[in-house]
Amino acid sequence: QVKLVESGGGLVQSGGSLRLSCVASGFTLDDYNVVWSRQRPGKEREGVSCITQNDGDVYYSDSVKGRFTISGDNAKRAVYLQMNSLKPEDTAVYFCAIGTGDCTKVGGIPILGHVERWGQGTVVTVSS
């Protein structure tokens, strides 16, 4: 079965850390760029970080830059999002997606072109 599976979410106190994983099942990530997005309560989904496969370029939203780190491990068919110095406003459902378009940044928000598949999301809750 072809799917993306996110994991690693949970409840953490402000200032804490979490590491999210996005694992591809039934296919490899070699030919895809990957974006992490989040949907905060009452808000639209927005890009958080994006990574390109061919050159490893990474993009971050202004709100997470310096706190979050995206990385990939093609051998494990996985992309990770290390989240440090978490804040209550980081509380959201976090999704990963693959696409064949480029990672870009528009208005401070990373965007992935030609998204082909989304995962089901993992919930991150940061308490104050």
Kindly report, residue by residue over 65-110, the tens digit of the pLDDT: 999 999 999 889 999 999 999 999 999 999 999 999 999 999 999 9
Report pLDDT for 53. Answer: 87
pLDDT reading at 123 higher than 90 = yes
| Cβ–Cβ under 8 Å, residues 126 and 13 | yes
pLDDT-derived band at 54, boundaries 50, 70, 90 = confident
Return all residues near 105 (Cβ < 8 A) that are at least 6 apart: 50, 59, 111
pLDDT-derived band at 52, boundaries 50, 70, 90 = very high
Report pLDDT for 55. Answer: 87
Give the chain's largest Cα–Cα span.
40
Give the Å distances, CA to CA, from 52 to 43, 56, 70: 26, 5, 10
